[in-house]
Amino acid sequence: MDKIINLVTAGQLRSDIPDFHVGDTIGVSVNVIEGDKERVQIFKGIVMGIKGGGISKTFRVRKISNGVGVERIFPINSPRIAKNRDHKRRKRAKGKTLLP
């Protein structure tokens, strides 16, 4: 059964996503559909955590917008993500960044 699941999900895994880690600052370009129009919105922030594996792997990005913290969870293999950009690496020892 695991072989069948791996075969089905192998075609859906994306290979164009750059390598990033917790604590890095990235900008995620997300395709947003509003009615009949489609546009690209950039969500730039710090990677707070990476969870899961394979097709269900997700990452959490946090940014401060008008003095309010906003967190968003993105599936890594989602077709809605156009690309990750503005990658800035930081040295972090923890697997998850916690807020003060």
> Which of 77, 84, 73, 76 lies closest to 48 in space, CA to CA?
73
Residue 96 forms part of a structural domain: no
Look at residue 100 and tell me if it is in a domain: no
The answer to whether residue 29 sits within a structural domain is yes
- What pLDDT is recorded for position 99? 65
Let me know if residue 36 belongs to a domain: yes
Above 60 in pLDDT, residue 93?
A: no
| CATH number reported for the structural domain that contains residue 32 in this entry | 2.30.30.790
Tell me how many domains the chain contains. 1
Residue 86 banded pLDDT, cuts 50, 70, 90: low
Q: In which element (H, E) is residue 2 found?
A: helix 2-10
The answer as to whether 72 is a domain residue is: yes
Whole-number Å distance between alpha carbons of 39 and 98: 32
Q: What is the mean pLDDT of the chain?
A: 82
| Residue at 24: amino acid letter | D
DSSP state of 7: H
Whole domain around residue 66: which residue ranges? 2-88
Q: Please report the pLDDT score of residue 53 as a whole number.
A: 81
> Residue 68 pairs with which residues in a beta bridge?
65
Q: Please state whether 67 falls in left (phi above 0), alpha (psi between -120 and 50) or beta.
A: left
> Is residue 12 domain-resident?
yes
Q: Which residue has the higher pLDDT, 43 or 5?
A: 43
